[in-house]
Chain A
Amino acid sequence: AQSVAQPEDQVNVAEGNPLTVKCTYSVSGNPYLFWYVQYPNRGLQFLLKYITGDNLVKGSYGFEAEFNKSQTSFHLKKPSALVSDSALYFCAVRDNPTGGFKTIFGAGTRLFVKA
């Protein structure tokens, strides 16, 4: 069965510093991996995805994520955090092809960026 773990409930970082939000996954096939962001009182927004190819994928708002097959990880990164990046971040995985269209989400990591 597919699963995804976000080991940190909360990440605190100072504005201008690099940030990392961690995600590990478990699937039986080749994973489709996603990051979503939820700003206060808003729905989830798609940030980026890994399907195949280059292990480093770039997404919206300057975010990027690195797929590491041996460590089964897909950490979200940004070189320089902004206060406006403060939000709830969800990692998600879809098991291709056996998982069909079913996507499993992590519990979420709340990011606080302090000015």
Chain B
Amino acid sequence: DVKVTQSSRYLVKRTGEKVFLECVQDMDHENMFWYRQDPGLGLRLIYFSYDVKMKEKGDIPEGYSVSREKKERFSLILESASTNQTSMYLCASSLTGAYGYTFGSGTRLTVV
């Protein structure tokens, strides 16, 4: 089975800190995604990548950046964390557009 691993399950950071969320997948998928999940809002796409060093903005990219230096790793960066970025962050990967996503377990980030 495809495995998507997110480095931290829970994270508490201070306002203004630079935060790195790491995601690694082990099945050679081209496509990787970062979503945030908030109650009542579902999942909202932050960034996605369809190849190494390629990235595309999703629906809510403000305050975030990403890095994909290797195919298996897709990092989400909060340049200067703010309290409104407190959320559950979900990483996902997929083989092609016709396939469903495989999600990681999520990182619950609290910014204080």
A contact residues vs B (CB 8 Å cutoff): 6, 9, 32, 34, 36, 42-46, 49, 51, 90, 94, 96-97, 100-108
Proximity bits, B51-63, A CB within 8 Å = 1, else 0: 0000010100000
Partner of B43 from A46, A49, A90, A94 at Cβ < 8 Å: A90
Query: Which B residues fall within an 8 A CB radius of A?
Result: 4, 31, 33, 35, 40-45, 48, 50, 56, 58, 90, 92, 94, 97-106
Closest chain A CB from B5 CB (angstroms)? 11
Contacts of A32 in B (CB 8 A): 97-98
Given contacts A32-B98, A101-B94, 15 further A-B contacts (CB under 8 A): A6-B42, A32-B97, A43-B4, A43-B90, A43-B103, A44-B92, A44-B101, A49-B98, A90-B43, A94-B97, A97-B97, A100-B97, A102-B56, A103-B33, A105-B44
Q: A90-B43, A108-B42 are in contact. Are A96 and B100 (CB under 8 A)?
A: no
**Beta-carbon nearest neighbor of B4 in chain A:** A43
Which single residue of chain B is at the shortest CB-CB distance from A48? Answer: B100
